[in-house]
Amino acid sequence: MKGRIVRGSISTGVEVKLDPQYTVEDVKVGNFAVIEGRKYRYFSLVSDVKIESTNPAMLVDSFEDEDELAREIIVGDSIFGNISLNPMLMADKEQVGETRAVRTIPPHSSPVRTATDEDVAHVFGSPDNKVFFSMGTPLEMDSPVCVNLPKLVERCSGIFGKAGTGKTFLTRLALAGITKSQAAVNLIFDAHNEYGWEATKEEDRGDGVLQESHVKGLKQLFPSRVVIFTLDPESSRRRGAKFDHEINLAHSQITPEDVLLLQSQLNLNSTATETMHLLSGKMGAEHWFGLLAEMAAEEMKDYAEEHGLHLGALQALQRKLKRVYDLPFMKDKIPFDAVDKIMQYLNAGKHVVIEFGSTQLLGYMMVTNILTKRIHAEYVRRMEKYQATRENKPPHLVISIEEAHRFLSPELARDTIFATIAREMRKFNVTLLLVDQRTSGIDSEVMSQIGTKIACKLDDESDVNALLTGVHDAKNLRNILYSLDSKQQALILGHAVPMPVVIKTRNYDAQFYNEIVETNYQENDKAFNEMVNDMYNDDEEI
């Protein structure tokens, strides 16, 4: 694509008249273009493609056969492709230096061209698996687009997209990148058992038939750095997935706040909430849950009378909490405190995946909330200690949660620990990686705190609006977002990338494994060959 700037402003972007030999079909929304100004080079995104003419009468001309010459003269020059570009970054032309945000626009008739691989490398850096991690390539290009991992983990980030658009693969890529680079330690709440051990992937072989194949989980790629905890050992065994530890929760670990999070699932009303708080106050925060659950009918009646509680409310609460009590991982006593163990691993720089097996949503939400709350408290304590002593700084922690809207909905956002982390935990070295398909379900205050957003295709307008809340130039990004394919394409914007960019997600395949795994197979092969050679040499000597 080539063209020239015809008009523009800093607020609405610039417009480009395509050179006559190119048609609008040569340009796609989201493509990456470079404008060569006089002093600066501008890196921009195509945000709109239009057909325009110098005279409206030409547009309605159907150009009969006898008008062939007229068509040749008019089309391309008087009826032309008009491309809207959004300049995002600029860099000095003279010296190859840092790119910075645009504060001016290129002069009239500056030439515009499609970005080359060098331009992409200039803007996004070259992959080194330490700071710059390749997530894919720009559409119709081969040069890698890298995210800045330290920046990605510095603030909360989110991976969004409707079901089946490749969220999970993007998350896998991001997690593998963070693990490889050691930019942070991961704590992954793996609701659907997709990140720890093997998972299946559906792949179109090209003839429309979906083929199932298996992809490696984090534990297989980084066996020495990843620890898997499971809440459902049976499911793990059935799936043939390896795990290191089993998690159980003790009744004493359940607080009224934890149950409150499950308000909608358990259908709790405000009376139940008050009753819980009363019980917790009277029986003690560690005992109320166990005592209430095991209370017999007579006992309850006496207790209600004795403490002036409403018997009906107490009975209803017990009935409703039965579902929590019956969760398979709820135990009266537990052999070890899972949180302590997880903290030990995290402190040692190990990445922790918590698998939920066939645990239902209720269990997922409760465990995630309880564990995160404890880990949060522990992190705050350690960070404060570090601030006092300047020793033993806890490693940066990224907590990945799926179905994020369940924890961060506007109704719950005030009460759950995740909203607190999203808002202020950057100071305490903890950030979130939200994975969700329903951005509109997430509290807008939390959404605005998300530094880096990686968005696959979203159809629902309210989801798109929620995603683009507070984003500069949302109107143009909306066009790009709607134009994404439903497979292997994503828009990355925010803190970890210098400018928004549409990528074709890189393949999560053998080539990726080879690049990322901690074992260097080539080295291994070499060592093995040497060993074999030595052995044979020895034989000859004998």
Is residue 24 close enough to count as binding another protein by CB under 8 A?
no
Sheet holding 351-355, edge to edge: 145-148, 132-138, 501-505, 489-494, 450-455, 156-160, 430-436, 397-402, 185-190, 351-355, 226-230, 245-246
442 touching another protein, by CB under 8 A: no
Least distance in Å: CB of 16 to another protein?
A: 20
Instruction: Give which of 159, 188, 162 is closest to 171, Cα–Cα.
Output: 159
Smallest gap from residue 71 Cβ to another protein (A): 10
Q: Which of 36, 61, 244, 473 binds another protein (CB under 8 A)?
A: 61
Determine the Cα–Cα distance for residues 313 and 319; give it in Å rounded to an integer: 10
> Of these, 39, 51, 77, 344, which contacts another protein (CB under 8 A)?
77
Regarding 67 and contact with another protein (CB under 8 A), the answer is yes
Say how many CA atoms lie within 13 Å of 120 toward its Cβ: 24
Which of 11, 69, 95, 207 forms a contact with another protein (CB under 8 A)?
69
Cα distances (Å, whole numbers) of residue 532 to 520, 529, 540, 542: 18, 5, 13, 15
Contact 485, 457 (CB under 8 A): yes
Per CB under 8 A, which region of 72-80, 337-345, 409-417, 515-523 contacts another protein? 72-80
* Beta pairing partners, 228: 353
DSSP class of 393 = P
Q: How far is the CB of 63 from another protein (least distance, A)?
A: 9
CB 362, CB 408: distance < 8 Å: no
Verify binding: residue 250, another protein, rule CB under 8 A: no
Place of tokens 């949302």: 474
Residue 90 to residue 532: CA distance in whole angstroms = 56
φ, ψ of residue 184 to 5 degrees: the values are -165, 170
| Residue among 61 and 337 whose Cβ is closer to another protein | 61
**Per CB under 8 A, which region of 69-77, 87-95, 387-395, 413-421 contacts another protein?**
69-77
Of 44-52, 66-74, 225-233, 467-475, which segment contacts another protein by CB under 8 A? 66-74
Please list every residue from 175 through 204 that binds another protein, using CB under 8 A.
Answer: none
Regarding 65 and contact with another protein (CB under 8 A), the answer is no
Cα–Cα distances in angstroms (integers) from residue 450 to residues 33, 34, 187, 469, in the given order: 27, 28, 18, 10
Q: Which 214-243 residues touch another protein, going by CB under 8 A?
A: none
Based on CB atoms, which residue is closest to another protein, 67 or 294?
A: 67
Could you report how far apart the first and last alpha carbons of the chain are, in Å?
Answer: 70
Q: Does 509 bind another protein (CB under 8 A)?
A: no
Rounded-to-integer distance, Cα 247 and Cα 33, Å: 51
Nearest distance from C-beta of residue 25 to another protein, angstroms: 22
Quick one: how far is CA 103 from the chain centroid?
30
Min separation Cβ 8 and another protein, Å: 23
In the block, tokens 């960019």 appear at 501
Chain residues 40-59 in contact with another protein, contact rule CB under 8 A? 54-55, 57-58
For residues 262 and 282, what is the distance between their CA atoms, to the nearest angstrom? 22
- Check binding of 391 to another protein (CB under 8 A): no
161, 490 contact by CB (below 8 A): yes
Site string for another protein, 451-480 (x = CB under 8 A): ------------------------------
- Residue 66 near another protein by CB under 8 A: yes
Lookup: tokens for 488: 């292997």
Choose which of 39, 51, 72, 331 interacts with another protein (CB under 8 A). 72
User: Nearest distance from residue 61's CB to another protein, in Å?
Assistant: 8
Contacts with another protein: how many residues (CB under 8 A)? Answer: 15
φ, ψ dihedrals at 457, nearest 5°: -60, 135
Q: Is 21 in the site for another protein (CB under 8 A)?
A: no
Task: Closer to another protein by CB, 54 or 462: give it.
Answer: 54
Query: What 3-state class would DSSP assign to 477?
Result: helix
Interface with another protein by CB under 8 A: which range of 61-69, 253-261, 287-295, 325-333? 61-69
529 touches another protein (CB under 8 A): no
Q: Among residues 78, 129, 220, 265, which is the contact residue for another protein, using CB under 8 A?
A: 78
Residues that bind another protein (CB under 8 A): 54-55, 57-58, 61, 66-70, 72-74, 77-78
